[in-house]
Structure 1
Amino acid sequence: MSKNLKELEQEEEELSRAVRSSAQQIWQAGLGAFAKAQAEGGREFTRLVRDGSELQKRARQVEDATDTVARKAERASRRSSGSWGKLEQVFEERVARALATIGVPAPGEMEALSRRVDALERLVAELSGGRARPAAKKAAARKPAARGAKAPTPDDGGQ
Structure 2
Amino acid sequence: MAPTAPKKPAQGNSKGTGSAGSAHSAASKDIWLAGLGAMAQAQAQAREQGSKAFEALVAEGLAFQKKSQAAAQEKIQEAAAHFNQLTQNLGAGLVQPVGAKVDRLEHLFEDRVARALKSLGLPTAQEVAELQDRVAVLEAALANAKVKADAKAKANAKSPARKRVTPAK
TM-score (norm 1): 0.38
Larger CA Rg, structure 1 vs 2: 2
* Bigger relative CO (Cα 8 Å, ≥ 6 apart): 1
Structure 2 length-normalised TM: 0.36
